[in-house]
Amino acid sequence: MKQTTITTLAAAAALLMGTLTTHAADGPTDAQIVGIVLAADQIDIDYGNIALQKSKDKAVREFAQRMVVDHSAVQKAVIELAAKLGVVAADSPTSLSLKDGAKGVTAKLNAAKGKEFAKLYVDNEVGYHKAVTDLVAGVLIPNATNPELKAALEGAQPLFLKHLEHARMIQSGSTMSH
């Protein structure tokens, strides 16, 4: 992969983390937290679906399928919990930043082919899951006021960390087919 693509991904991750840190001082509301989680899940479902359409690499396809399944399940659980709690998802600077950043990544994923696509997808998944796990631990959990929402976030965090670890394994080449 070209160094510029890696630099672009690193810059996007840094921008995302800067946005998340800036808004952490304000502290998102529970409705905004639900909006952030739903946005983050949908983005990764979308990335996974692109990978399933484009990649022939077995490890990448298996990972992408896991992302679609797991993030769809988390999304469904969050929607059900929000309904139970009477919380309506709300946009925030963080959720809007996630959605905006996803547009550029989606365009890059759609333009890439073959091994370049596989590397771009996996590198993005590593950066994305690192940013999301940092967001969950550093902003969402501390700012969730509803105990059930806080518990749900704490319960989902190990899954997100497992995704990060799995993506890093593929990135290192230990499971990527050649």
Within a domain: 46: yes
Query: Could you tell me how far CA 5 lies from the centroid of its own chain?
Result: 19
d(CA 17, CA 12): 9
Within a domain: 176: no
Residue 9: what pLDDT?
Answer: 47
Within a domain: 178: no
Count of domains for the chain: 1
CB crowding 138-169: b at 16 or more within 10 Å, else e: ebbbebbebeebbebbeebbeebbebbebbeb
The number of beta carbons lying within 10 Å of the beta carbon of residue 61 is 17
Q: Domain range holding 21? A: 3-171
Quote the crossing angle between the two packed helices 30-54 and 147-171, to the nearest 10°: 30
Residue 129: what pLDDT?
Answer: 96
Residue 5: what pLDDT?
Answer: 44
Residue 174: what pLDDT?
Answer: 60
Residue 14: what pLDDT?
Answer: 47
| Ordered mean pLDDT values, 10 residues apiece, the chain (178 residues) | 44 47 68 97 98 96 97 96 96 96 97 95 96 96 96 95 96 64
Within a domain: 39: yes
d(CA 166, CA 160): 10
Predicted structure pTM score: 0.84
Within a domain: 177: no
CATH code (residue 49) = 1.20.1260.10
d(CA 10, CA 68): 24
